Chains A and B, each alone.
Chain A
Amino acid sequence: MIAMPRAGRRTAQVAATGLVLLVFLAVLAPYVAPYGVDTIDLAHRRAAPSPLHWFGTDELGRDVLTRVLFGARISLAIGLVSAALSAAIGVTVGAMAGYFGGATDAFLMRATDAMLSVPRLPLLMIAAAVLAPGVPLLIVLVGAAGWMETARVVRAEVQSITTRDFVAAARALGGTATRVLLRHVVPGVVPTAAVSMTLAVGRGILLESALSFFGVGVQPPAASWGNMLYQAQTTMSSEPWLALFPGAFIFGTVLCCNVLGDSPSVGSRDPRTGV
């Protein structure tokens, strides 16, 4: 289990429960959602929240609760898979830079610095506008834009592990670089990488929703929390529920991730996290 020094065990449990519940609801969306995701009901367009439609309906009479649940599928999938991708790239880059040092380190860290100095959201917005991605490519883009923080913390961790005696011993026994890295060094960075990945899930969800909010992410009629907000923007003053509920779900989910990953602003935090 990840140590949670600051958030407190209780808070972390609440956050974990919330996330697990949301994943369940998302997976079971076709069964638990009260209406069909694309069921148009023109007689009940723009209906305010009521016992019949807990979160109200949109301009086509589609049930907002249903669409929020289906949106959770896309948002969570993008958040989780892109975070896994970021973690994979970040651990690889960080471990190689930290272990080999020298020119490898210099090159990889320059590349990391370069990626960090491009404002992330505008870069992704251009990439999404240019490539007009479907969900799989969107996951790759978000994942490829988020590995730098992991690479940095993993590199620092690997540097300190590499100086330890058991690594020297493994080398002395004739272990190849690959073997020493994979068997002795990388297992040591798993906790760090796990924390970093938890934070990356929240960041990925925020990035996806921001891209969709600007109309270059997940395209309608598919529902994602971000593109629901995008569509809600114009009629927000008359139908505020269209904007309130999807946004509240983004907020709640990212909050749970950040509580679990123990707020990105503490301890060894790299200051350049987040959207």
Chain B
Amino acid sequence: MSGVLSFAARRALQVVPLLLIVSLLIFALVHAAPGGPLSLYLDNPNVRPEDIERLRGQMGLDQPLPAQYVAWLRAFVAGDWGYSYADGRPVMDRLLERVPATLQLVGISTLVAVIAAIVVGLLSSAHRGFDRATTIAAVAGISLPVFWLGLVLQLVFSNALGWLPSSGRSSFGGTDWLDRVAHLVLPATVLAAAHAAAWSRYLRTSMQQALREPFITGARSRGVSERRIITRHALRNALLPFVTVVLLDASMMASGAVVTESVFAWPGVGGLFTEALAKRDYTVLMAFLMCGSVAVAVLNLVADVAVHALDPRTRGES
């Protein structure tokens, strides 16, 4: 067990330089704007030049860039994420109040995608004909532009059929759970679709690898039923790489959430990001990217440690 702990500790230490690189990248990006973070005000005729100078001094933007970077990073780590340019509220408050909606959407979507992927992956490793059909469906699912799928589903189920609401998290003043579920259906479907397609392919591939192992032949020769071989013997071996991929895909989930929340006006963090983008609200944008990267790095760390702890075969090299 101590082996696992020291592996986790060593792996966690690697995350620190990684996040430093990420923070440099994000900082450099925002300051690459002509006029820097205040560029929005430069274009606004109602903002006087002396006001811009005053803001510049207040926000430390007249300091040399390396000093600004250190100051920003230090404040960020300490939990001082600055204030939103758009409404002057603390960035952390604005992000945190949006987190529950995003967690709900991403959580449900991940759950739906995982279940769909396991069902499809199992069926396609058991039936050849089913496999051909799902191969086509899965490649199509991976190729679908998320935002277009969202628009088409809105068109069909909200505009044409009128079965489901097209935007928001609940109707105005609506509080009952049926209303909330109805609002969740379309965005969750859109966010789950691409991942279900990719993950089902991945599970199928690792199932096929597992089914070629000698212990499967052994089980077959002992007369174990094919159904049991697939659901017990092969699935157990294929499940670990599958779980790893699900965790590693967190970064894609974040990108998908931004698109989906924007198309369906879902009041989550991704929606906040697109709002902030339209207003060039750089403090919010920087905090969003940093939090997103930290979350992804942590989930990748969890995936690595989980594999290391659960699968003795991966411990050889260290």
Chain A residues with a Cβ under 8 A of chain B: 6-7, 110-111, 113-123, 125-127, 129-131, 202, 206, 209-210, 213-216, 229, 232-233, 236-237, 240, 243-244, 247, 250-251, 254-255, 257-259, 263-267, 269, 271-272, 274-275
In the complex, A260→B17 CA distance in Å? 37
In the complex, A274→B146 CA distance in Å? 11
In the complex, A131→B36 CA distance in Å? 11
Chain B residues with CB below 8 A from A259, complex form = 139
- Where chain A touches its partner, the secondary structure class is helix
- CB pair A233–B151 under 8 Å, yes or no, is yes
In the complex, A272→B246 CA distance in Å? 10
Chain B 10-36 interface residues, beta-carbon cutoff 8 Å to A: 14, 17-19, 21-22, 25-26, 29-30, 32-33
Chain A residues with CB below 8 A from B288, complex form = 122
Q: Would you give 11 A-B contacts (Cβ < 8 Å), ordered by A?
A: A110-B14, A114-B25, A118-B292, A119-B258, A119-B292, A122-B258, A123-B289, A131-B33, A206-B145, A251-B145, A251-B148
In the complex, A240→B193 CA distance in Å? 22
Chain B residues with CB below 8 A from A251, complex form = 140, 143-145, 148
Chain B: which residue is nearest A209 at the CB level? Answer: B145
- CB pair B289–A254 under 8 Å, yes or no, is no
**Nearest-Cβ distance from residue B98 to partner chain A, whole angstroms:** 14
In the complex, A48→B249 CA distance in Å? 40
- CB pair B21–A266 under 8 Å, yes or no, is no
- CB pair B155–A275 under 8 Å, yes or no, is no
**Nearest-Cβ distance from residue A71 to partner chain B, whole angstroms:** 13
Chain A residues with CB below 8 A from B259, complex form = 121, 210
**Nearest-Cβ distance from residue B132 to partner chain A, whole angstroms:** 9
- CB pair A114–B22 under 8 Å, yes or no, is yes
Chain B residues with a Cβ under 8 A of chain A: 14, 17-19, 21-22, 25-26, 29-30, 32-33, 135, 138-140, 142-148, 151-152, 154-155, 159, 194, 197-199, 201-202, 205, 244-245, 248-249, 251-252, 254-256, 258-259, 262, 273-274, 277-278, 280, 285, 288-289, 292-293, 296-297, 300
- CB pair A229–B252 under 8 Å, yes or no, is no
- CB pair A274–B148 under 8 Å, yes or no, is no
Chain A residues with CB below 8 A from B273, complex form = 122, 125
Q: Which of B138, B147, B201 contacts A213 (CB 8 A)?
A: B147
With A119-B258, A243-B152, A266-B201 known to touch, is A250 a contact of B145 (CB < 8 Å)? Answer: yes
Chain B: which residue is nearest A259 at the CB level? Answer: B139
- CB pair B262–A214 under 8 Å, yes or no, is yes
Q: Which of A130, A233, A275 contacts B30 (CB 8 A)?
A: A130
- CB pair B145–A118 under 8 Å, yes or no, is no
In the complex, A209→B143 CA distance in Å? 13
- Where chain B touches its partner, the secondary structure class is helix
With A119-B293, A126-B285, A275-B252 known to touch, is A254 a contact of B143 (CB < 8 Å)? Answer: yes
Q: Which of A113, A130, A209, A269 contacts B29 (CB 8 A)?
A: A130
With A236-B155, A247-B148, A274-B142 known to touch, is A118 a contact of B252 (CB < 8 Å)? Answer: no
In the complex, A251→B147 CA distance in Å? 11
In the complex, A204→B252 CA distance in Å? 15
Chain B residues with CB below 8 A from A120, complex form = 251-252, 255
- CB pair B255–A119 under 8 Å, yes or no, is yes
Q: Which of A209, A244, A275 contacts B255 (CB 8 A)?
A: A275
Chain A residues with CB below 8 A from B198, complex form = 264-265, 271, 274
Q: Which of B142, B151, B297 contacts A117 (CB 8 A)?
A: B297
- CB pair A119–B251 under 8 Å, yes or no, is yes
Among A110, A116, A229, A271, residue most surrounded by chain B Cβ atoms (within 10 Å): A271
- 16 other A-B residue contacts (CB within 8 Å) besides A236-B151, A272-B252: A110-B17, A114-B22, A118-B289, A119-B254, A119-B292, A122-B292, A130-B33, A214-B274, A214-B277, A216-B277, A237-B155, A247-B145, A251-B143, A254-B143, A257-B143, A275-B145
**Nearest-Cβ distance from residue B268 to partner chain A, whole angstroms:** 13
Among B138, B159, B255, residue most surrounded by chain A Cβ atoms (within 10 Å): B255
- CB pair B277–A117 under 8 Å, yes or no, is no
In the complex, A218→B286 CA distance in Å? 23
Chain A residues with CB below 8 A from B154, complex form = 236
In the complex, A211→B184 CA distance in Å? 25
- CB pair B143–A229 under 8 Å, yes or no, is no
- CB pair B139–A263 under 8 Å, yes or no, is yes
Q: Which of A214, A257, A272 contacts B251 (CB 8 A)?
A: A272
**Nearest-Cβ distance from residue A275 to partner chain B, whole angstroms:** 6
Chain A residues with CB below 8 A from B285, complex form = 122, 126
Q: Which of A114, A202, A216, A243 contacts B143 (CB 8 A)?
A: A202
- CB pair B22–A264 under 8 Å, yes or no, is no
With A6-B135, A116-B251 known to touch, is A258 a contact of B26 (CB < 8 Å)? Answer: no
In the complex, A272→B198 CA distance in Å? 10
- CB pair A118–B144 under 8 Å, yes or no, is no
- CB pair B205–A266 under 8 Å, yes or no, is yes
